Amino acid sequence: MGQHDEDNEPGSPACLMHEFAAELLPRPRGQRPDWPAVQAFRKAKRVELLERRHALDVDDRKRYAQALTERLLAAVDLRPFAVLGFYWPIRGELDLRGIARGHIEAGGAAGLPVVVAKNEPVEFWSWEPTTAMQRGFWNIPVPHGRRCVTPDVLVIPLVGYDAEGFRLGYGGGFYDRTLAALTPRPFCIGVGFDDSQLDTIHPQPHDMPMDVIVTERRVLQFGR
Highest mean pLDDT among 16-25, 112-121, 133-142, 149-158: 149-158
pLDDT exceeds cutoff 50 at 208: yes
Number of domains the chain contains:
1
Does 214 map to a domain?
yes
12 part of a folded domain: no
Question: pLDDT at position 101, please?
Answer: 98
Question: Which pLDDT score, from 0 to 100, does residue 7 have?
Answer: 44
Q: Residue 195: pLDDT above 60?
A: yes
> Is 211 among the domain residues?
yes
- Most confident by average pLDDT, 19-23, 26-30, 32-36: 32-36
How much is the mean pLDDT over the chain?
88
> E-strand spans in the chain?
83-85, 109-114, 123-127, 133-135, 141-143, 148-149, 153-157, 160-162, 167-168, 187-191, 197-198, 212-214, 219-221
Contact 198, 168 (CB under 8 A): yes
Q: Does residue 11 form part of some domain? A: no
Does any domain span residue 38? no
What are 92-142's pLDDT values in tens digits?
999 999 999 999 999 999 999 999 998 899 999 999 999 999 999 889 999
User: Residue 201 sits in a domain of what CATH number?
Assistant: 3.40.50.10420
Residue 103 is part of which domain span? 58-221
